[in-house]
Structure 1
Amino acid sequence: MDKLLLTTTEAAQRLGIGRSALYDLIRTRRLRTVKIGARRLVPVDALPEVIAVLVEETAA
């Protein structure tokens, strides 16, 4: 079974960006996350969403 939640490091790797850029996306609420205990995790289905948001912002 594939993972449903990714660590911030895994999400950054999948998006091909650095961790600081990923945290900027989280801070500006363009990337959905969940918090479980002290861990901040990224749902796998949030990755295509953030890509669509970034494409839309670039086109505007």
Structure 2
Amino acid sequence: MTADPSGEAAEIPTEPIRLVLTIEQAARRLGIGRTLMYSLVMDGEIESVTIGRLRRIPVECLTEYVNRLREQNAQLPAA
């Protein structure tokens, strides 16, 4: 543990920061099921890349997807 500027102990992350995620990891980040995540990727809603034979989701693509959803919800008329 290290001390942050406030003097409190800060935890050191044990997992490396990843640039790309598996389908399962991306689904967990969004709090959705694996099947829905596959559907969003295959429909082009969330961008993915192939690395060799592997399909991976760049972390920033999840952020872009959530931002698009927020924009769409902001444009809906109030009920």
With the length of structure 2 as denominator, give the TM-score of the two structures: 0.66
The equivalent residue for 1:52 is 67
Question: CA offsets, 1:2-51, max 9 Å, x none?
Answer: 11011111000000000111011111111011001111000011111111
Instruction: Please tell me whether residue 42 in structure 1 is matched to residue 67 in structure 2.
Output: no
Query: Alignment partner of 1:32: what SS?
Result: coil
1:7-46 aligned within 5 A? 7-46=22-61
* Counterparts of 2:72 and 2:30, CA distance in 1: 16
Per chain length, whose mean CA-contact separation is higher, i.e. which structure has more relative contact order (CA < 8 Å, sep 6+)? 1
Identity of counterpart residues, as a percentage? 38
* Counterparts of 2:72 and 2:36, CA distance in 1: 16
State the aligned residue count.
60
What's the C-alpha RMSD, in Å, of the aligned pairs?
1.5
With the length of structure 1 as denominator, give the TM-score of the two structures: 0.84
Give 1 or 2 for the bigger CA radius of gyration.
2
Q: Which has the higher helix share?
A: 1
Query: Alignment partner of 1:22: what SS?
Result: helix
Q: Report the AA paired with residue 49 of structure 1.
A: E
Gaps of 5+ in 2: 1-15
